[in-house]
Amino acid sequence: MYQKHWRRITLLLGIMILFAVVGCGESGDDDENPAGVGDLWPVAVGNSWLYHHTYDQGVDTLLLSVTDELTYQNKTALELIASHRWYHNDGYTWDDTLYLAIEDENVYLADVDSYNPDAEWELKFVFDGDAVGEVYFEEQDSFSLVQRSLAEVGASVTTPAGTFNNVWVFDEMTDMSSTDYTFIEHWLYNFEPGVGPVTWEACYSVYSDETIVDEPYRLVDATTLD
């Protein structure tokens, strides 16, 4: 479901990649002032990002807008509205509400909807360039294993908004394999410093070693206010 892309690991993001099989990348040069959350994702009320998801039948659009600052479950949060337009269903539209909280280099998301109005915070991203390849979130139950990690720093990604050459790639993996079948899903979220998410994409391995790669959501335009 497109509307669940920003929490796809516990179900799907996104909110948000460019995927083959991602190995461990290398962090950039040592920096006395490493990039913080604000440097990588300039989230502030009034900022927005427009994405296109192109396929044979047409183009879906997604607009992420930061609309408000509030308090949610004891955290100071920003409200993100994800406005979808689903081309291949007669232009069907819907909005999702996401709450985003930042604590040091940690970014938490809560995907709030009518079915889950009290959604709990999840650690979604850790903007630490020295932690490439390290798993910063892991959750396992009887059905699945979920892991999140920073896969690479310094990747190159091209979108309608331009080519970005210092992209941070976050890998969100869900393994729901069993003795009867294989199902491994990756969501890759690509962030360009000073811009925010520029693409995200899903990749699946189902029943076999064959990999299915979805067409990514690609940034078309970003509006960031000073």
150 vs 24, 53, 169, 183, 222, CA distance in Å? 8, 24, 6, 22, 23
Tens of pLDDT, residues 61-110: 999 999 999 999 999 999 999 999 887 667 789 899 999 999 999 999 99
Structure token pair of residue 172: 């969100």
Contacts with 60 (C-beta within 8 Å, 6 or more apart), sequence order? 2, 52, 53, 84, 85, 86, 87, 88
Domain with residues 2-223, CATH architecture: Beta Barrel (2.40)
Residue 226 binned pLDDT confidence (cut-offs 50, 70, 90): low
Tens of pLDDT, residues 129-169: 899 999 999 999 988 999 999 999 999 999 999 999 999 99
Question: pLDDT value at position 225?
Answer: 67
Burial (CB count <10 Å: 0-12, 13-18, 19+), residue 216: buried
Separation of alpha carbons 61 and 93, rounded Å: 10
Question: pLDDT value at position 210?
Answer: 72
Q: Residue 225 phi/psi, 5° resolution?
A: -95, 145
Dihedral sign for Cα atoms in the order 22, 24, 29, 35: positive
H/E stretch holding 202 reads strand 196-206
Q: Are 163 and 157 in contact (CB under 8 A)?
A: yes
77: closest CA among 51, 58, 102, 50? 102
Note the helical H segments in the chain: 37-40
Strand partners, 36: none
Separation of alpha carbons 166 and 164, rounded Å: 6
